[in-house]
Amino acid sequence: MNAYAAWDITVGSPSVRVAIVDTGLDVGDPAYVFPDYTGHEDIVSCQTPIVQSFVSGETGNDDNGHGTHVSGTIGACTNNATGVAGANWQVQLMGVKVLDYSGSGSLSAVASGIRWSADNGAKVINLSLGTSSPFKTLERAVNYAWNKGAVLACAAGNDGTGARTYPAAYTNCIAVAATDENDAKADFSNYGASWVDVAAPGVNILSTMQDQWDWCFLCYGYGYLEGYDALSGTSMATPHVAGLAALVWARGECTTNACVRAKIESTADPIAGTGTYWKYGRVNYLGAVN
């Protein structure tokens, strides 16, 4: 994606807030038997994250691992000789918990999380989640955030079909498909140039996971490693686009979300499948920020 060259121009800004509407963010638990006061967020982000929960009885702390992984791709503390590189080195992350420990959640919680993010200064909202039904509640929340000035990056889904997933298929979302290390469409990725906008890497993406002090559903239930591991999915492709949107905002040449979106889409590389699997191509960081 030419990220290294793009970082010669900008590495992001703490004045840009990116909301990850997901399973939360690893922020630690002071009440744990062995106190985990800092959690993993000092590695997930160079800036202290903002957290909010819309799951009854749960804090904004991630107890699944998915949200922490997505967050690391967007904003892992970078150039510190530790772990992985995030798209933004200094971005302000907002961990908005709308899904419980198992990755399930209500439509109302997701919609509330989107609205809260927009009301609290998110310039970018990452939605690595979806449903097969075009619920109006969800669409209204997406439109609300867009009208507040946010760019929304949304996962196209992992069914390997042309079936539309929501919120990705809504007009005011950038729908993101996944590509592999050969720049080809990932087998699992949903597709369709009539509704999928761009593609980004989504196979074996290494990023941050919950640390050893906190419950991690994906770790204990599915064998993923604590600390760091590689996951695949359009959920992993989407934060590459959300991270790029934050870099474009930080560059300072755009004052509207429409401008940011246009920069991302118009500079995407027309790799194989463009015009069939997705409309614009695989995102190019350097092209978008240059």
Boundaries of every domain in the chain: 3-289
Q: Is 26 a catalytic residue?
A: no
Q: Is 119 a catalytic residue?
A: no
- Determine the pLDDT at residue 58: 87
Q: What is the pLDDT of residue 39?
A: 66
HEC profile of 215-228: CCHHHHHHCCCCCE
Catalytic residue among 22, 29, 100, 211: 22
Known active-site residue 235? yes
Burial class (CB in 10 A: 0-12, 13-18, 19+), 138: buried
- Is residue 32 over pLDDT 70? no
Out of 54-63, 185-194, 261-270, 273-282, least confident range: 54-63
Mean pLDDT over 131-144 rounds to 97
pLDDT at 27: 81
Q: Is the pLDDT of residue 30 over 70?
A: no
pTM, two decimal places: 0.96
pLDDT at 210: 86
Q: Please identify which of the residues 62, 232, 235, 240 carries the catalytic annotation.
A: 235
Q: What is the CATH number of domain 3-289?
A: 3.40.50.200
Question: SS3 of 122, please?
Answer: strand
H-state helical runs in the chain: 3-7, 41-44, 66-75, 107-119, 136-147, 217-222, 234-251, 257-266, 285-289
Mean predicted confidence (pLDDT) in 207-213: 83
Provide, rounded to the nearest whole percent, the portion of the chain with pLDDT above 70.
95
Rounded mean pLDDT of 65-90?
94
Q: Please give the pLDDT value at position 237.
A: 98
Question: Exactly one of 45, 53, 66, 240 is catalytic; which is it?
Answer: 66
